[in-house]
Each structure stands twice: as C-alpha cells, then as structure tokens.
Amino acid sequence: MVASEPNGVEKQQTKDAASSTKGSWAVVWLGRLINLAMLAVLGYGVFEWSQGRLHPESWVGQTREWLSTRSEDNQEQDRAKTNRNNDQENKGLASQEDALEFPTDEKEVGARAKGPLKVEVKPVERLALRRTVDMVGSLRGFEEINLASKRSGRVVKVHHDMGDAVPPGELLVELETRDAELALLQAERRLAADLTELGLAEVPGANFDVGMVPSVVRARLALERAERNLNRARELSRKRAINPEEYENTLNDFQTAEAALAEATLRAQTTLANARVSQAAVEVARQMLADMTVTAPNQTAPSEPNLPAKLEYRIRKRLVEEGSYIREGETMFELVIVDPLRLIANVPERHASEIQVGQQAEVENAAYPGERFPATVARVNPAIDPVSRTFEVELRLPNPDQRLKPGGFAKARVIVGQTDNAVVVPADAIVKFAGNSKLFLYDPATRTAREFLVSRERPLEDDPTRVEIELKENKPIPPLAHVIVTGRAQLYDGKPVEPRNLPARSTAVPDPAATQSTMPSPDQATDLRPPT
C-alpha cells in the first residue's frame, strides 16, 4: 500500500499544536523569571533588615510599614466597630457594620506608613542579684567502707545488722578463736625455752651485751684462769724451772679457753636472735587472736571546719551469717558515714574560673521539695575530662538529723558572686537574629528606638520571665530607661515609636534648650548593628 499524503486539515492541526507547545514553554519560562525576581527582592529585603538599613525611605521599608500600620488600624477599627455596635443596640439603631473601612486613599496610606510605630514599654530594673552556677550530682557518704575479714574462720556471733549506728571500735562479728589461741600458746612456749637457755626472764633490748649471758661469763672466767697459768708457765720456762712439755700443755689450755669463749658468745647471740623471733611470733599470734573479733574502724575526725567531733558509722549492708565460714578478705559489712555527706557533680568547663574551694552552696533533694540544705565547696578537680569537657566538684553538706540519704540524686547551686546593680529586663524584650541578641530602648528625647547588643543573659532564679543582661563593650544604660517589648520584628535603630502605656509626660517632646537625649550619642558608642 502507498501512504497517503496529509491533507490541508491535518497540516493546520499540526501547526496549531506546535504553536500551543511554544506558548506553554513561554509561560513556564515567564513564571520562572517572576519567581527569581521575587526571590531577589526578598533576599535584598532580608539583607537590608539584618544590616539595620531598612528605613521607611526605601520602598521595601514603606511596604513593611504600610502592612504593619494596616494591621494595627484593622485592630483599632474592629474595637471601634464593636463599641459602636453595642451603642447602636442599646439605642435601638440599625447596624452600620460597613461604616468602618480600610483607607483606600494612597496619600492616607503613605501618611500612616510614615507615622511612629505604636509599642509597649516596660521599665529597666536595677536589682541586687547573686551569681550562681547550677549542677546536679549524687550524694555519697563522707566515708564508704567495705569491711572485710583479715582472717579465715567460722562466724560465732553477729552483733549488729543493717541500719545500726556503730561508733568506731564497736564489736561487729566474733569468729571462732580456738586455732588462734593454740597458735599463741605454742609461740609463747617457744619463747620461754629460748629465754631459759639464755638465763633471762624477758627478751632484752637492742643494746643488750651478750657477755652478760651466764654461759659466756663462765667461758670468759675460764679463759682468764688459763691466761694466768700461761703467764706463770712462761716465767718458769725462762728460768728453766719446768720442762717444755708442761709449758706446751699450759699453752694448749689457754687456746682451748679462747675457743670456748668464742663458741659461748656465738651460741648466746644465736639463742638471743631466736628469742626475738619467738617474741615476734607471739605478737603475730596475739594479733591473729585479736583479728578473730571484727570491729568498726577507728577514725578521727579530719581537721576541717563544720565537722562533728566524732564520726559515726551506719551499716548499709550486712553480708555475713552466724555459722557461716568466712575467708580472708571476704566482705562482711558495708559501712557509711552519713554526717557529713558529699555531693559529687560534673560541671561544664566554662565555669572552671568561677568555682572555688570554700564557696557556699545550696542543695535540693526531691524527698524534701522546696527545702534547701547549706553546703560548701570542699574540693575542685584541677583537670578537665577531655571526653565530656567537664570537671568534678565535691560539695560537703552537714547532715546531723540524717534526713538526706547517700546514693540519692540532688541539685546544687553554688554562689559564685554578688552583683549590687544588675540590669534586669523582661525576657520578651530580647531579640535574637543571626546569632546575636539585642534589645531596643525608648529614647524620650527623640521618640525613637535605640538598639543595644546583649553579650550575656541569665534568667532569674525565682522568675524565668525576667533576665539579667550584660551589654557588649559594657555600654551604659541610662537611668529610668524603658525597654520596648512589642513590635520587635519591626524595630531598628532610630525607628520612630510611640509608647502606648507610658504616661504623657514621659512621651512629651522636651524643650531642646533644656533637655538632651540620655542615650549614648553616635560618637560615644560603636556601631551596634549585627555583623555581616
């Protein structure tokens, strides 16, 4: 088959479809261009506002002013309409809801847009405040001890249980003592034998002369006699009164006496050393017998202020039963000193320069809502944990009535300073934008809003709706100043404003010859606009 050529109608339809496609693409690209233009205008307006240069003279500022004025006028017209309707109902008049209309005249709109912005203000307060650092942590005993047995043995008697108060040295557990008693008796018998050999009643001191031992004295006397016989024989030998054999016998007796003295001295020294070892064995056996009775550790109160003269233990846990066999080093009791207590908390490193030993603090516990317990900073860790970027702080708080329990959760507030003239404003007055915080004060001399950058803000302890502030570069705030709390998004430095809730005498135009602005002049302060 041969394909037929398109007729005139089909050609016309093809041309119309192509024209329609071209028209739709033109509409799409026109819409994209309009969107880009709107984004550019919006970006320019945001940039101008962030730089504080968005004034009524610019057409963007005029549009924003006109919209805000129309909103306020709309609210006023609604209130007037309500009042008028009520009056008309009381008088029986017909409703005239269409009487209030938005202004349609361009001149009237422009006049309203250029008028002062109606705002509400609140006075800036000057208060005496204390500076604090808040922290949370766990309560611990002043001392926490796992009391273990020094010896192995069978438990005969348990004298205290969980919760008991035990002073230092109090008897807690008795172990079977038969083996320890026999060991002590054996050591005492061995010591007695050594002392009998030495001829002494007790072990002498370190400066004892073994020459005083009877065996050594006897050997020394024999040596002296042999020495005298030798001297006599030597004299007779020179005179040839004795034969040589008799002289040799006398010399041998002298040498034998010398050796006997040395042997007696050495034996006495050995016996004396054994006696001292036996004495040490007796002491060990006695200590072993004493260790069969377990007592609370003896501790003296540290030489620190505000601590009780005598510390007392409380038994937190008992881990031993009568009749059971205890091994050496096995824990029998967990003891804790509950007066005073310690609060261990981790504090962020930004407070490292503020926390000092000796500062006063207040501690709160969930068991006693609304009650604060006094405490003192006892220790501050000199190193910061590189993982958590915190450092450890130890607070010490008295607990004479033992109401607080070790192991509990607690909140603490350390008093790090005092401010006698702190600047306090409502929290609603702070404007945050692009990482900066600022506020606007009302200048009655010029009837404008003045911008101040805030470097630091702290909510008050008793009222979070108010904050203590510090201005950048320590810029002063005039006395009796008022801060603007409404219309913050429409404010900029130098914006004309009209306070609604300020007395007339405060908003009246002052005499230029007698009054000047109390706000810092431009040549006295740096530019406070947000950085680009």
- Check whether residue 284 and residue 219 sit in a common domain: yes
* Residues 6 or more apart in contact with residue 282 via CB below 8 angstroms: 184, 187, 188, 191
In a domain, 20, yes or no: no
In a domain, 469, yes or no: yes
State whether residue 59 is helix, strand or coil: helix
What's the distance, CA 81 to chain centroid?
Answer: 60
In a domain, 362, yes or no: no
Parallel, antiparallel or unpaired: strands 117-119 and 495-499: parallel
pLDDT of the residue at 514: 36
- Cα–Cα dist 212/209, whole Å: 6
515: left (phi over 0), alpha (psi -120 to 50) or beta: beta
The structure's pTM equals: 0.54
pLDDT of the residue at 304: 63
- Check whether residue 218 and residue 273 sit in a common domain: yes
Structure-block tokens of residue 175: 């172990």
Query: Which residue in this structure is represented by tokens 């060990």?
Result: 284
Q: 339: part of which helix (H) or strand (E)?
A: none
- Check whether residue 470 and residue 434 sit in a common domain: yes
Per-residue pLDDT of the chain (532 residues; tens, 9 = 90+): 444 445 554 555 555 555 555 566 777 788 888 888 888 878 776 666 665 555 444 444 445 554 455 555 555 555 555 555 555 444 443 333 333 333 444 444 444 456 789 999 999 988 888 888 999 999 999 989 999 999 999 999 999 999 999 988 899 999 999 988 999 999 999 988 888 888 888 888 878 877 888 888 888 898 889 888 888 888 888 887 788 888 888 888 888 888 988 888 888 888 888 888 988 999 999 999 988 999 998 876 555 666 666 788 999 999 999 999 999 999 999 999 998 999 999 999 999 999 999 999 999 999 999 899 999 999 999 999 999 999 999 999 999 899 999 999 999 999 988 888 888 999 988 998 878 889 999 999 999 999 999 988 888 877 888 988 888 877 778 878 899 999 888 898 999 999 988 765 444 444 433 334 445 543 444 333 333 3
- Check whether residue 450 and residue 497 sit in a common domain: yes
pLDDT of the residue at 383: 94
- Check whether residue 280 and residue 332 sit in a common domain: no
Please answer whether residues 497 and 491 qualify as being in contact, where contact means their C-beta atoms are separated by less than 8 angstroms.
yes
The residue out of 280, 313, 336 marking a domain boundary is 336
pLDDT of the residue at 458: 83
CA distances from 479 to 401, 482, 509, 518 (A): 49, 9, 19, 9
- Check whether residue 300 and residue 287 sit in a common domain: no
Query: Residue 468: which CATH number?
Result: 2.40.420.20
In a domain, 201, yes or no: yes
In a domain, 317, yes or no: yes
What is the extent of the structural domain holding 493?
117-126+420-524
- Check whether residue 160 and residue 182 sit in a common domain: no
Q: Distance from first CA to last CA of the chain, Å, rounded?
A: 76
- Check whether residue 448 and residue 476 sit in a common domain: yes
Q: Which of 450, 456, 422 is nearest to 436 (CA)?
A: 456
Query: Residue 154: which CATH number?
Result: 2.40.50.100
How large is the angle between the packed helices 214-238 and 244-291, nearest 10 degrees?
170
pLDDT of the residue at 507: 42
In a domain, 35, yes or no: no
Residue 179 has what DSSP assignment? H
The residue out of 309, 336, 363 marking a domain boundary is 336
- Check whether residue 304 and residue 286 sit in a common domain: no
Q: 379: part of which helix (H) or strand (E)?
A: strand 373-380
- Cα–Cα dist 133/354, whole Å: 8
The one-letter amino acid at 456: R
Cis before residue 464, ω within 30 degrees of 0? no
- Check whether residue 303 and residue 156 sit in a common domain: yes
In a domain, 280, yes or no: yes
- Check whether residue 283 and residue 327 sit in a common domain: no
The residue out of 336, 364, 395 marking a domain boundary is 336
* Residues 6 or more apart in contact with residue 364 via CB below 8 angstroms: 371, 372, 373, 410, 411, 412, 413
- Check whether residue 169 and residue 302 sit in a common domain: yes
Provide the number of structural domains found in the chain.
3
In a domain, 510, yes or no: yes
Parallel, antiparallel or unpaired: strands 390-397 and 341-348: antiparallel
pLDDT of the residue at 81: 56
